[in-house]
Structure 1
Amino acid sequence: MSEAESEGKGEKLRLMFTYGTLKRGLPNHTLLEDLIGKKDAVFRGSCVTTEHYPLVCGLYGVPYLIHLPGSGHQIKGELYGVTSRGLARLDELEGVTIKHYERRPIRVAMDGSGEEAEAEAYFAHGCFGEALWKKRGVVGMSEYTSENALDQVRIERRAQDRSLVDELLDLVGSAPSSIVD
């Protein structure tokens, strides 16, 4: 189940694992609903990572999956197939070009069947991810829930004079110059 044919578009869909605010019932799921309505995304089901990863909340209650396989927990989430146009919109939301998140491969097992799939997920960018895990005392969670989302601060209520990435780098004690292009 690494790729699936898109209904009506004939385009191969990229499988994306969502673990945070993009999940059903959470604040950013409206983007996926829009993509589904435009046939740029398809819900494939609930799943869990096959490996353990750290999942923590950073500044403003934002969830971050950290690319440290073998640490943390198996993470519960959802799997979506998305078109290239849908992927571009997800990348924009996740701040890939500004190094907020980075897309990386991940393996998941589908709930119920246990069938495994190769997908991608948005991980905290490497310039702060591991340091954030350490800053959080190497304690994480196995699932980001609607209760966690209550702690999230809406974008318009956050500091407007600095980027979230710069604030994260300050939190973990890294200089902005540590971001490599």
Structure 2
Amino acid sequence: MTRIFVYGTLKKGQPNYYRMFDGANGKAQFLASALTAERYPLVIASKHNIPFLLNIPGQGRRVHGEIYEVDDEMLRFLDDFEGVPTLYQRTLVKLEVKARGAEGEEKEEAPGSITEAFVYSTTVYQPDWPSLPHYDNYDAYGDHGLEYATREARD
């Protein structure tokens, strides 16, 4: 099992959340809500208004998201869905646990503790992306006015 930190469209209440629990993709178990221990620029970019966590530690804001434990099948699905290695790369980051889910009760994710998980971040981006507005908590339906274009809508 691998731990993944999601901060964008795969979070609860977001357009791609259903993919985390589609059995055809593998298995995922919610462990905890968390935020990055370091600051990163989380921007909304491209003509599809996709959330990107730029792999520039120390800039931006501490980013809120969710930690999941996924099996190898789900990890392969997520790597493909996120366009690894061309669009995103899987990067290990330190996270501060905010609140654990019921599934995390038997794990060591106590609120306030520091843990690690992989995050899908990018080192390949347009030169102006670091100067875009930075967010600490992505919401596809937020007041930023940047409507996320689902994959189905792009076709």
Fold match by TM threshold 0.5: yes
User: Between the two proteins, what is the percent identity of the paired residues?
Assistant: 32
What residue is the counterpart of 2:65 in the other structure?
77
Q: Return closer, same or farther for 1:90/1:142 CA change in 2, 3 Å cut-off.
A: same
* Residues 1:147 and 2:141 are matched in the alignment: yes
Which of the residues 87, 91, 103 maps onto 1:100?
87
Which of the residues 109, 113, 118 maps onto 1:120?
118
* SS class of match (2:62): strand
Considering Cα pairs closer than 8 Å and 6+ residues apart, tell me whether 1 or 2 has the greater RCO. Answer: 2
Runs of 4+ aligned structure 1 residues displaced above 3 Å come to: none
2:15–2:150 CA contact under 8 A, matched in 1 = no
Q: Write the letter of the residue equivalent to 2:28.
A: A
- How far did 1:154 drift? 2.5
| Root-mean-square deviation over aligned CA pairs | 2.2
- Structure showing greater radius of gyration is 1
Deviations along 1:22-41, one digit per CA (max 9) or x if unpaired, are: 00111111111225x98721
Q: Provide structure 2 residue ranges, at least 5 long, that are not aligned to the other structure.
A: 100-110
Q: Write the letter of the residue equivalent to 1:19.
A: Y
Q: Which has the higher helix share?
A: 1
Q: Write the letter of the residue equivalent to 2:95.
A: V
Q: Write the letter of the residue equivalent to 1:128.
A: Y
Q: Write the letter of the residue equivalent to 1:30.
A: Y
Q: TM-score normalized by structure 1? A: 0.71
1:47–1:111 CA contact under 8 A, matched in 2 = yes
Q: Return closer, same or farther for 1:138/1:152 CA change in 2, 3 Å cut-off.
A: closer
Q: TM-score normalized by structure 2? A: 0.82
* SS class of match (1:111): strand
Q: Write the letter of the residue equivalent to 1:153.
A: A
Q: Write the letter of the residue equivalent to 1:86.
A: M
Which of the residues 53, 58, 67 maps onto 2:40?
53
What residue is the counterpart of 1:88 in the other structure?
76
Q: Provide structure 1 residue ranges, at least 5 long, that are not aligned to the other structure.
A: 1-12, 161-181
